[in-house]
Amino acid sequence: MASVFIDADLGDGERRARLYAGDIFIYSATPGTKALAALAGEMLSREFAPLDPRELHRHLTAEEVAARLAVLKPQFIHHPECKRLLPQIMAERGVDRDRLYFDVPRLRSAYPKDFLASGIAYAFHPHRDTWYSAPMCQINWWLPIWPVDPDNAMGFYPRYFDEPVANNSEIYNYYAWNANNRASAASHVKQDTREQPRPQQALQNVSVRYLPPPGGMIVFAGAQLHETVANTTDMARYSIAS
């Protein structure tokens, strides 16, 4: 059975072993994560001023939001401050930066489900990142920018970590996705027609939701089955994943 560690004082080697065994780690905010969340929040607030980014669905169309996110999200991904902060955040959690390989941080958005849940703001169904060609050694770090709610958070299915889940990941080709589908994300506003791997069986339990504070992190293995919870609140959720 998976365990959940809260602010555990473990070395990176033991933590990594536990993550690969299906455990999940939750951490409080650090100076680095607070700075990263603040950077994303400032960029969102500046882009959509004078509107509150969490309330865009009350004032703009889904097409307007998608078009502006298509510009903003790459700006965040490639912001030079992100490249400086990510190694700092890893060092704050005991990771040896000389042995660190990290992906660019992704700015995620989850709007009320009847507004925008496809394309640039895709609400991910239950999946393992390894179904999307992620390396088996991948470890994910996820943090919310503003407070999250059980009904607009991420959901996890830890009981399935070491249990096979029927899926159709054979349809996914990472090279073809980059060549044909990634750039078109903003055009999928009402419905996302891009083929993506999904479970091919019913899941037997409801996902578990962990709610770290802004800048707090959830750390989990890429093989952990997780999802974007359908946002049934009246506030958008923004987060960062790396």
Query: Taking 60 as the threshold, does the pLDDT of residue 92 lie above it?
Result: yes
Burial environment of residue 174 by CB neighbours within 10 A (0 to 12, 13 to 18, 19 or more): exposed
**How confident is residue 117, by pLDDT bands cut at 50, 70 and 90?**
confident
* Mean pLDDT to the nearest integer, 68-88: 95
pLDDT, position 192: 63
pLDDT in tens, 1-48: 689 999 999 999 999 999 999 999 999 999 999 999 999 999 999 999
Mean per-residue pLDDT over the chain, rounded: 91
**How confident is residue 121, by pLDDT bands cut at 50, 70 and 90?**
confident
**How confident is residue 120, by pLDDT bands cut at 50, 70 and 90?**
low
Closest CA to 236 of 77, 113, 70, 72: 113
**How confident is residue 212, by pLDDT bands cut at 50, 70 and 90?**
very high
- Percent above pLDDT 70 for the chain: 93
* Mean pLDDT to the nearest integer, 226-238: 94
**How confident is residue 116, by pLDDT bands cut at 50, 70 and 90?**
confident
Token pair 């040896």: residue: 96
The pTM score is: 0.91
Domains, the chain, ordered by start: 4-241 (2.60.120)
Closest CA to 124 of 217, 203, 226, 22: 226
- The three-point CA angle 115-67-182 to 5° equals 95
**How confident is residue 58, by pLDDT bands cut at 50, 70 and 90?**
very high
pLDDT in tens, 153-174: 999 999 999 999 999 999 998 8
pLDDT, position 228: 92
**How confident is residue 177, by pLDDT bands cut at 50, 70 and 90?**
confident
Query: Taking 70 as the threshold, does the pLDDT of residue 187 lie above it?
Result: no
Question: 25 CB contacts (<8 Å, ≥6 apart)?
Answer: 4, 5, 8, 15, 18, 19, 217, 218, 219, 220
pLDDT, position 182: 59
Closest CA to 239 of 214, 210, 207, 209: 214
Cα distances (angstroms) measured from residue 70 to each of 104, 195, 211, 232: 16, 20, 27, 24
